[in-house]
Chain A
């Protein structure tokens, strides 16, 4: 296999890792106001992802870095071309990351509500926009002979792109609800599973339309197999939700998310960013890649480091894999919003 093909596959794997893992923590964030009826509920929800969300997000940083190193032209055209959606994604990721850490530091409703809003907005924006971005990559965008994106923000807001965004939004909400069913106990678990069952219907509906559109417009013969796997996984996930077998359901949404990424990247290959202006201007794994030497160096690094990373990340999942419920949440340990004593202590 050519190294450029290997790197295309590796970047696919990094995106699978990112979207499968952060997919459920986006879902947990989006469902915060829906499933979290009081502060304790919301704290239960946040604590299911608190030790791991940061590690999940690193998959994105590595996917970005790997694209920069292996396909610099793709990185340059994509990131400058999708400027405003990426800006919104960054804003989302910034506010939600700070919110997880800061919400519990001060005891006060206004303080917590502010950061809860940040978590919801910061989870919803990327969950929607990653879908829009990937759908547009597969669909093709105007790229000129100099590998420059020549469209505008509105080029990206086409029906197929928006459907892609809706798909990831619903899929991640479904994925997150099943994750909460798996990681919580008591009333909140029951509510999460019931919500997962309700979400399964629109999620599957939209995902099927998007998958078929993708396959019919951009698919290859072998990607029909991926569509079938995705469909079976989604139906199994729904079955898991309705039968309250959340482990089966969650495992299935993992598979469904992974197959969605495989479908999109499979349709793309061997292009990395097709041009809608002229086929000859498309970025491919060949004309967008780094030199052979750089790829060799990066391959060695990836082969040594990736297994180690997967090993210790799995270890943290294993260590913190215990159900959390309202009874296990200790009283808040933040400082008071403001008291005369606190103010006096500064002097």
Chain B
């Protein structure tokens, strides 16, 4: 493997890994903030216990999300320095804004929230978790604005003298229609992830508490009453976010058809241009081997509808697009992304998303009008948790791999000269250096993932903590810390 392959693997490994934690952080911060708000307004201690329980799980997750984020920023300079030279004038701005406007906010107020229990006034403490939640979501916006530039460059022009892309309008960059669709899609997906996580754990506990033979009936009732409202709240969030993700995903598909028709055709494994093209549910055989007879189970007309809103529309296939791209951007380059990867990841994203959302529907149904589900449901709730995580991961692999061979995909309606092939963006660093860092990060991230999973499992299984009496505020200077590492 050369430095390009290694750098691509490293980008993939570090980004996918970082992205296990990020959607959960984005969704869970506001959900914990809502739990605390309910407690603040009603004084109902069950919500305080839920806040502390899911707050702890949130922090275990947040820690890894933060530290792996630094790698993402450094990596552009370390592995993709030619890309950084080409687009730094444009791409650096949203990254710097993310730091200034979002990272400071979240890191500072997370600290204030963790150590502010019983030290800050209740209102200010509640404001801290909300500010942290806003910061987390704001940072998603800036990073998606940066990514959307790579998918669909706008607000920029090519300077032949310096040989680089230069920013002409920050407003256009931040209101890129690609980010305006990608942001709500990502946020709803993140809320699905967090809601499924909360619903899974609360649902498991709700069932378990009812069947705990060793606890007396009073404790049992109390525990069921603790987890049940949290579970139903998470199911509602999951359902609303699921609908939101489907609607925004549809909007994104139509936009992708206009902006990156090759990615859309690859997602469908559509080799030849077709009128009223069907949506392929699954294929037998490998959609990547160049044959077009793999679409065995397709719903007629649906792909055309997804792309254009018309069931009978003619949509271009991979082969026609390859010919068009060759004419436009130069011969001798394969413009087709890896078809098997794009085809299967697109399907996996939809499948895992639907499976995750199903927990919300089933959960609300089995708990309707005060009913309680049987033991089977506890298992099911746990099994559902990975669904949205996998939907997020496969969705991103699809988005990023579907853009290949471009690192900056050309904007078909804009300035075509703003484009860069991935192979041209890589640093002139020796393969040894990249290889060493790829191995280092893979091993380090692997061990941290084991610690993360072990802790989440342990703390989830320990259940919501009891509530201690709030300490007296008179002797503020001498009393022990309410929370300490």
**B-contacting residues of A (Cβ < 8 Å)?**
43, 46-47, 50-52, 54-55, 57-58, 60-62, 64-70, 72-73, 75-80, 83-84, 86-87, 90-91, 93-95, 97-98, 100-106, 147-148, 290-291, 293-294, 297-298, 301-302, 305-306, 309, 312-313, 316, 319-320, 322, 324, 327-330, 333, 335, 342, 345-346
Task: Out of A66, A102, A335, name the residue touching B96 (CB < 8 Å).
Answer: A66
- Could you tell me if A73 and B68 are in contact, using CB atoms closer than 8 angstroms? no
User: Which of B72-80, B228-236, B275-283, B392-400 is the contact stretch?
Assistant: B72-80
Measured between beta carbons, the chain A residues less than 8 angstroms from B66 are 54, 97
Is B299 interfacial (CB 8 A cutoff)? no
Task: Out of B77, B91, B167, B485, name the residue touching A293 (CB < 8 Å).
Answer: B167
Distance (Å) between the CB of B179 and the closest chain A CB?
17
- Could you tell me if B167 and A72 are in contact, using CB atoms closer than 8 angstroms? no
Is B296 interfacial (CB 8 A cutoff)? no
Task: Out of B100, B107, B164, name the residue touching A54 (CB < 8 Å).
Answer: B107
- Could you tell me if B484 and A330 are in contact, using CB atoms closer than 8 angstroms? yes
- Could you tell me if A291 and B93 are in contact, using CB atoms closer than 8 angstroms? no
Measured between beta carbons, the chain B residues less than 8 angstroms from A83 are 78, 427, 429, 433, 437
User: Which of B183-191, B301-309, B334-342, B450-458 is the contact stretch?
Assistant: B450-458
Return the chain A residue nearest B212 by Cβ. A345
* CA of A36 to CA of B330, assembled, Å: 65
Measured between beta carbons, the chain A residues less than 8 angstroms from B436 are 84, 87
Q: Which of B89, B170, B451 has the most A CB atoms < 10 Å from its CB?
A: B89
Return the chain B residue nearest A72 by Cβ. B88
- Could you tell me if B481 and A316 are in contact, using CB atoms closer than 8 angstroms? no
* CA of A328 to CA of B118, assembled, Å: 14
Return the chain B residue nearest A64 by Cβ. B73
Distance (Å) between the CB of B171 and the closest chain A CB?
9
**Chain A's interface: helix, strand, loop or mixed, by majority?**
helix
Number of residue pairs across A and B with beta carbons under 8 Å? 243
Measured between beta carbons, the chain A residues less than 8 angstroms from B62 are 101
Distance (Å) between the CB of B143 and the closest chain A CB?
11
Task: Out of B87, B111, B448, name the residue touching A316 (CB < 8 Å).
Answer: B111
* CA of A290 to CA of B484, assembled, Å: 45
Instruction: Encode contact with A along B421-463: 1 for CB under 8 Å, 0 otherwise.
Output: 0000001110001001100100010001001000101110110
* CA of A346 to CA of B278, assembled, Å: 45
* CA of A78 to CA of B95, assembled, Å: 17
CB contacts under 8 Å to A, within B81-130, are 81-82, 84-85, 87-93, 95-101, 103-105, 107-112, 114-116, 119-120
* CA of A104 to CA of B485, assembled, Å: 5
- Could you tell me if B77 and A94 are in contact, using CB atoms closer than 8 angstroms? no
* CA of A324 to CA of B477, assembled, Å: 10
Measured between beta carbons, the chain A residues less than 8 angstroms from B111 are 50-52, 54-55, 316
* CA of A76 to CA of B86, assembled, Å: 10
- Could you tell me if B477 and A322 are in contact, using CB atoms closer than 8 angstroms? yes
* CA of A100 to CA of B66, assembled, Å: 12
- Could you tell me if A94 and B67 are in contact, using CB atoms closer than 8 angstroms? yes
Is B320 interfacial (CB 8 A cutoff)? no
Is B332 interfacial (CB 8 A cutoff)? no
* Sample of 10 more A-B contacts, CB < 8 Å, known A65-B73, A76-B81, A297-B93: A61-B70, A66-B99, A68-B95, A69-B96, A79-B77, A98-B64, A328-B478, A328-B481, A328-B484, A342-B462
Chain B, interface size category, equals: 35 or more
CB contacts under 8 Å to A, within B36-74, are 59-60, 62-64, 66-71, 73-74
- Give 23 pairs: A residue, B residue, CB < 8 Å, sorted on A: A54-B107, A58-B103, A58-B107, A67-B92, A68-B84, A68-B95, A69-B92, A69-B96, A73-B88, A90-B71, A90-B74, A98-B63, A101-B59, A104-B484, A106-B458, A297-B167, A297-B170, A301-B100, A305-B101, A309-B104, A312-B108, A312-B109, A330-B481
Is B370 interfacial (CB 8 A cutoff)? no
Is B250 interfacial (CB 8 A cutoff)? no
**Chain B's interface: helix, strand, loop or mixed, by majority?**
helix
* CA of A137 to CA of B245, assembled, Å: 47
- Could you tell me if B98 and A65 are in contact, using CB atoms closer than 8 angstroms? yes
* CA of A319 to CA of B109, assembled, Å: 12
**A-contacting residues of B (Cβ < 8 Å)?**
59-60, 62-64, 66-71, 73-74, 76-79, 81-82, 84-85, 87-93, 95-101, 103-105, 107-112, 114-116, 119-120, 159, 164, 166-168, 170, 427-429, 433, 436-437, 440, 444, 448, 451, 455, 457-459, 461-462, 477-485
Task: Out of A78, A293, A301, name the residue touching B97 (CB < 8 Å).
Answer: A301
Task: Out of A80, A98, A147, A319, name the residue touching B429 (CB < 8 Å).
Answer: A80
Task: Out of B70, B79, B116, B119, name the residue touching A90 (CB < 8 Å).
Answer: B70
* CA of A43 to CA of B483, assembled, Å: 12
- Could you tell me if B103 and A327 are in contact, using CB atoms closer than 8 angstroms? no
- Could you tell me if B99 and A76 are in contact, using CB atoms closer than 8 angstroms? no
* CA of A101 to CA of B63, assembled, Å: 6
* CA of A57 to CA of B455, assembled, Å: 24
- Could you tell me if B459 and A335 are in contact, using CB atoms closer than 8 angstroms? yes
Q: Which of A68, A324, A327 has the most B CB atoms < 10 Å from its CB?
A: A68
- Could you tell me if B77 and A80 are in contact, using CB atoms closer than 8 angstroms? yes
- Could you tell me if A93 and B67 are in contact, using CB atoms closer than 8 angstroms? yes
- Could you tell me if B103 and A61 are in contact, using CB atoms closer than 8 angstroms? yes
Measured between beta carbons, the chain A residues less than 8 angstroms from B92 are 65, 67-70, 72, 75, 290, 294
The answer to whether residues A298 and B96 also contact, given A65-B73, A72-B88 and a CB cut-off of 8 A, is yes
Distance (Å) between the CB of A21 and the closest chain B CB?
12
The answer to whether residues A65 and B95 also contact, given A51-B114, A94-B444, A330-B480 and a CB cut-off of 8 A, is yes
Measured between beta carbons, the chain B residues less than 8 angstroms from A47 are 481, 484-485
- Could you tell me if A94 and B84 are in contact, using CB atoms closer than 8 angstroms? no
Measured between beta carbons, the chain A residues less than 8 angstroms from B82 are 76
Measured between beta carbons, the chain B residues less than 8 angstroms from A301 are 96-97, 100-101
- Could you tell me if A101 and B60 are in contact, using CB atoms closer than 8 angstroms? yes
Measured between beta carbons, the chain B residues less than 8 angstroms from A80 are 77-79, 81, 427-429
* CA of A95 to CA of B451, assembled, Å: 12
